[in-house]
Structure 1
Amino acid sequence: VPQPDIVWYKDAVPISPVKTPRYRVLAGGSLQVNGLLPDDTGMFQCFARNQAGEVQTNTYLAVTSIAPNITAGPSDSTVIDGMSVILHCETSGAPRPAITWQKGERVLASGSVQLPRFTLLESGSLLISPSHISDAGTYTCMASNSRGIDEASADLVVWARTRISNPPQDQSVIKGTKATMTCGVTHDPSVSV
């Protein structure tokens, strides 16, 4: 008496719910930590103070495992055949999630599988180089660890490269007659030439 004020510290630094909204001091004085991260590991101290004095206690929080979370998944992309494209997949979790990329049921790249033209980057993203028309479809990034699985998907559209398929040929014609030069083009149906 009177009711003490409660102040929380992490690693001897006062906790500011304004600076770290994931940390919240509840009405009874307890500390709630939302969305645990590995950086939340540390020594937590609780100080209770009033005019009569002060008491404190502490505890150590070790965040050893966190379910995978795809923090930035792939987005729908369009590429011209023969060009390279990167489908992004950034993750968080502990232990660090293993990344697997699939197109339908087919595994394209993971820690143990790597098909030609498909490269699993250190960031977790997928590099397709060069792309083929047959690469069009839905791609899924799967992040997994001992705590669970998270996944995200995106569609890849591959446009056929515009090409001159029937170029003009050298020709000789009689003066005064008509000369016809050809220029046959193949292109993706979704673009006009």
Structure 2
Amino acid sequence: MEWYREIEGVLSDLPPTSKRPPSSSSSSSPQNSVVHLAQVRPQDAGSYLCRANNSHSVDQVVIQLVVYVPLHVQVSPPTQIVDVGRSTSLRCLVSGSPIHSLVWLKDGVPLAELENGPSSSPRFEVGPREVLKLVRVQPDDAGMYQCLASNDFTTGQDSSQIRLGSVLPELVYRFSEQTIQPGPSVSLKCTAVGNPPPQFTWTLDGFALPESERFLVGQYVTIHDHVISHVNITQARDEDGGLYACQARNAMGIALHTARLNIYGPPFVRPVPPIKGVAGKNLQIQCPISGYPIESISWER
């Protein structure tokens, strides 16, 4: 029996030390029936030819050796801060072989299965050399990105975190105008996102809310970094009506929403504190009036 290895299309005889008879074989077993490869290496992969002959004939078989090397995955950079609207990229470096598949995931979900993944949005681009590019990053793009490489016997993975840089406040929920009778309790709510997380302030007709135990202002942050603020008014009275405003502010800017709360009742004008104006600048003064309906408002000086 003879063993050969094909290297670049040329058959080369294997060294004698790599051939041996089976340990369980008898003295009549064919010599060189087994090839022994000590500490298999990736470069040992390829085609091996076993040829047997006797006085009658010659026969041979080609054996393909595939060497699996444990996969090791590294995603770079491991973490980065990206401003909304900017683009960035991640690179997945894989060592080991063979690599049968390579998949990108976000927070454990394949990108192709996300609502804003490659199947529905051009903002995710998987390029050559296992590079994932995020075009015009949006708030929902923050999270953990995983690169998963696999073959029939082993898998490897690594992850990278993308955090958002500074983001202008954005109101994702706003209370609407209401018209009610006096008596029931009322809740007004606004929800905002932004980075740093915005802080809310509430006003009524442009002034601070009345100092009353019937007014309760609260704010909290959800696990999704949504900042929720509310004003709860217990046993609403006709003088509680007016133009309510929620304002979300962070270091990047302001988001503002206003809507009226109309409460049936006679007209009522709240006291107005002194107002300061700057010469040469525009000034707008809101009349702090409640009651509903209001037929007319007049100003005098």
Q: TM-score, normalised by structure 1?
A: 0.58
**How far is the alpha carbon of 1:68 from its aligned partner?**
1.4
Distance in 2 separating the partners of 1:96 and 1:31: 23
**How far is the alpha carbon of 1:157 from its aligned partner?**
0.6
**How far is the alpha carbon of 1:34 from its aligned partner?**
4.2
Distance in 2 separating the partners of 1:101 and 1:93: 18
Give the 5 Å matches for 1:1-193: 8-10=104-106, 14-16=110-112, 19-21=114-116, 24-26=123-125, 30-32=133-135, 34-37=137-140, 40-43=142-145, 60-108=161-209, 115-116=211-212, 117-122=214-219, 123-160=228-265
Distance in 2 separating the partners of 1:92 and 1:45: 28
Instruction: Count residues in correspondence.
Output: 145
Residues 95-151 of structure 1, C-alpha deviation per residue, up to 9 Å, x if partnerless? 22111111122022xxxxx72122112330111123221222211111111222111
Gaps of 5+ in 2: 1-101, 150-158, 220-227, 267-291, 295-301
2:106/2:143 contact within 8 Å kept: no
Larger Rg: 2
Structure number with the bigger relative contact order (C-alpha 8 A, sep ≥ 6) is 1
Q: Name segments (4+ residues, structure 1) moved above 6 Å.
A: none
CA gap 1:91/1:12 in 2 versus in 1, 3 angstroms: closer
CA gap 1:15/1:132 in 2 versus in 1, 3 angstroms: same
Distance in 1 separating the partners of 2:164 and 2:236: 41
Kindly, what percent of the aligned residue pairs are identical?
Answer: 27
2:170/2:192 contact within 8 Å kept: yes
CA gap 1:44/1:68 in 2 versus in 1, 3 angstroms: farther
Distance in 2 separating the partners of 1:94 and 1:151: 16
Query: C-alpha root-mean-square deviation of aligned residues, in Å?
Result: 3.5
Residues 12-59 of structure 1, C-alpha deviation per residue, up to 9 Å, x if partnerless? 75322x52317623597732254324x713346599xxxxxxxxxx86
Gaps of 5+ in 1: 1-5, 48-57, 109-113, 162-187
1:8/1:31 contact within 8 Å kept: no
1:10/1:45 contact within 8 Å kept: no
Distance in 2 separating the partners of 1:12 and 1:151: 36
**How far is the alpha carbon of 1:66 from its aligned partner?**
2.5
For 1:98, the aligned partner's letter is Q
1:83/1:130 contact within 8 Å kept: yes
Distance in 2 separating the partners of 1:115 and 1:157: 20
Distance in 2 separating the partners of 1:27 and 1:60: 17
Q: TM-score, normalised by structure 2?
A: 0.40
CA gap 1:141/1:60 in 2 versus in 1, 3 angstroms: same
1:102/1:139 contact within 8 Å kept: yes
